[in-house]
Amino acid sequence: MGHYVPHTDAELASMLEFVGVSSLDDLFSTIPEALRLVAGDDGRHLDLPDGLSEFDTLSEMERLAARNTQLTCFAGAGAYDHDTASATKRLAFRSEFVTAYTPYQPEVSQGVLQALFEYQTLLSRLTGVAIANASLYDGATACVEAANLAVAATGRSTVWVSRGVHPNWRGTLDTFAVGTGHDFVDAPLIDGVTRWPDDGGAEPGALLLQYPNFLGCLDDIAGAAAVAKAKGALLLVAFDPVAAGILKTPGSYGADVVVGEGQPFGTPLSFGGPYLGLFACRTEHVRRLPGRLVGETVDVEGRRAYVTTLRTREQDIRREKASSNVCTNQTLIAVVCAIQLSWLGTTGLRELALRCARGTRYTREALLGIDGVEPLTGATPTFREFAIRTPVAADVVVDRLAEEGFLAGVPLGEEYGERGLLVAVTERRTRDEIDRYVQTMEKVIR
């Protein structure tokens, strides 16, 4: 098979002349020879096996697939094994959505813009605040953008962050703070509920908590709202959109900014991504909204039309003055989310949330009936997820249960102790699967 070369010899010569070198060897002369891979029979090549024919490739794929074991999933920690409707997959992967380009030219992007407008509308209803953007990268970066907005709005660089917020999301906040200079103050969890500082030093510009939190507990969002109001700070809530089927919206408690992870609605686990950052806020903060916002208007003939709107120039041009430098979004995954939510409807979302809550309660009570298994968070109510303490190290439990066909959960590590295990139960888990999981758990911890 010949090599594919994207440029002609004349084009290569022209480019080399432009940069002031006479050959490709000269161009790469700054790279040590020991590190180079050189084309040709006498060159040093990557140590790759010979290529396979199409039929041999299919046989090899079948052989590898036969080794794959599908584990029954009881793991969560921010990524959940939810069902995706066939209709969602069919509609979302139409070529009009999959191949659509960034909607800089609204006259040729009306379908995509309308789909994003519908996504924003659905998210506004879920969060209970008026304005939702056209999505961000994931839940972690949405938390960062919420903190950026709050600091810009209040002029205070301190943000109180509950330790009930996902550890990876808190890590992302810390990483961005190296550049922004924001000061994040931890608020500890006591039996799964956040205890805000009596004296956290500098007055906070915002309080950030997760609802339900990383351990699955229903944190005291009303108490957080009271503290935020007393401090003159904004309330930032990282919410679970599935729990919105049965819980009051964060906006109804007074949240100023609501963020979250949209993966449960139509996005497979996919080894960690790409996922979907949810972001919504009250109307007074719309000018600091990160990313894109799609609005509804009319064209010159009075027909309904959609455009990106209310974009502050600082985000794109005077970026050193911007509260956010995000200029893009997760269009396709946001469209998938909108389709899945539309398919579920209000009744379907409520049923989904109830199935998760009931399965979680049943599983938790069954596991706590095993001698030596203890609750990690007391009697605090949980949703879809809960933490337990096992008699042996959690990573050992996970390894042993994997041999039995179960993905047992997520070991919580040193922050919560080596015996801490986070277990998640979605609507996909049947009673038979739960019973076998509990029975197997009892066997492997002996």
Q: Give the mean model confidence (pLDDT) for residues 40-68.
A: 76
275/374 same-domain check: no
Tell how far CA 8 is from the center of its chain: 43
User: What is the structure's pLDDT at 295?
Assistant: 94
335 falls within a domain: yes
- Count of domains forming the chain: 2
Local confidence band at 324 (pLDDT 50, 70, 90 cut-offs): confident
With pLDDT > 90 as the criterion, what percentage of the chain qualifies? Answer: 74
249/324 same-domain check: yes
195/161 same-domain check: yes
- β pairing state of 158-162 and 206-211: parallel
63 falls within a domain: no
Tell me, what CATH number does 372's domain have? 3.90.1150.10
Domain of 324? Answer: 86-339
Q: Give the residue from 279, 305, 339 where a domain finishes.
A: 339
User: What is the structure's pLDDT at 410?
Assistant: 97
307/402 same-domain check: no
Is residue 237 within 8 A of residue 206, CB to CB? The reply is no
350 falls within a domain: yes
Helix axis angle, 331-368 to 110-127, nearest 10°: 30
* pLDDT tens, position by position, 84-138: 999 999 999 898 898 887 777 788 789 999 999 999 999 999 999 999 999 999 9
User: What is the structure's pLDDT at 38?
Assistant: 64
**Tokens matching residue 379:** 């009697």
Number of C-beta neighbours around residue 391 at 10 A: 13
272/417 same-domain check: no
In this predicted structure, the answer to whether residue 419 has a pLDDT above a threshold of 60 is yes
Q: Give the mean model confidence (pLDDT) for residues 282-304.
A: 93
334/431 same-domain check: no
1 falls within a domain: no
User: What is the structure's pLDDT at 56?
Assistant: 86
279/395 same-domain check: no
127 falls within a domain: yes
76 falls within a domain: yes
335/359 same-domain check: no
* pLDDT tens, position by position, 10-53: 999 999 999 999 998 898 888 888 787 765 555 566 777 788 88
Tell me, what CATH number does 243's domain have? 3.40.640.10
* pLDDT tens, position by position, 141-150: 999 999 999 9
333 falls within a domain: yes
Q: Give the residue from 280, 315, 339 where a domain finishes.
A: 339
Q: Give the residue from 299, 314, 339 where a domain finishes.
A: 339
In this predicted structure, the answer to whether residue 269 has a pLDDT above a threshold of 60 is yes
User: What is the structure's pLDDT at 103?
Assistant: 77
In this predicted structure, the answer to whether residue 370 has a pLDDT above a threshold of 90 is yes
Q: E strands, 218-261, where?
A: 234-239, 257-261
Q: Is the pTM of this model over 0.75?
A: yes
**Tokens matching residue 169:** 């999301």
Q: Give the mean model confidence (pLDDT) for residues 334-347.
A: 97
Local confidence band at 314 (pLDDT 50, 70, 90 cut-offs): low
Q: Give the mean model confidence (pLDDT) for residues 348-366.
A: 97
Count CA atoms within 13 Å of residue 416 on its CB side.
28
Q: Give the mean model confidence (pLDDT) for residues 279-302.
A: 94
In this predicted structure, the answer to whether residue 2 has a pLDDT above a threshold of 60 is no
The mean of the pLDDT values for the chain is: 91
User: What is the structure's pLDDT at 322?
Assistant: 73
In this predicted structure, the answer to whether residue 200 has a pLDDT above a threshold of 60 is yes
CA distance 141 to 291: 11
240/143 same-domain check: yes
* pLDDT tens, position by position, 371-399: 999 999 988 999 999 999 999 999 999 99
Q: Which residues contact 414 (CB under 8 A, 6 or more apart)?
A: none
CA distance 12 to 276: 41
DSSP string, 161-196: EETTS-HHHHHHHHHHHHHH--EEEEE-EETTEE--
* pLDDT tens, position by position, 163-184: 999 999 999 999 999 999 999 9
18 falls within a domain: no
326/354 same-domain check: no
As a whole number of angstroms, the longest Cα–Cα distance in the chain is 77
User: What is the structure's pLDDT at 310?
Assistant: 82
246/302 same-domain check: yes
Q: Give the mean model confidence (pLDDT) for residues 264-291.
A: 93
294/372 same-domain check: no
